[in-house]
Amino acid sequence: MLTESDVRKALKATVKSDRIDSWSLDFDFRKEKALDSLDQVTFVLHLAEDCGLQVPDSDIDKLTSIRAVLDYASARGHG
């Protein structure tokens, strides 16, 4: 089961910064330009390796916030 803590851990592993702690559940990574295109694929790699959540290329754009990731995982039985 994917938790908010798992997602934050994957984000921290991606951007290597504690600033993730200040991001709300609905903080939009894309709109705020907090993750660039390379960060996004690294984030998805951490979700796969550390949390077992496989995200196909076609779904990467759906992962816009922590809540969006949790909802995405939940809809696929990881929530």
Compute how many residues bind other proteins; rule: CB under 8 A.
Answer: 10
Q: Counting contacts by CB under 8 A, is residue 68 touching other proteins?
A: no
Give the x-and-dash track for 4-43 against other proteins (CB under 8 A). Answer: --------------------------------xxx--xx-
Residue 44 CA to residue 54 CA, distance in Å, equals 8
Which residues in 41-60 contact other proteins (CB under 8 A)?
41-42, 44-45, 49, 57, 60
Residue burial 36-67, b: 16+ Cβ < 10 Å; e: rest: eeeebebbbebbeeebebebeeeeeeebbbbe
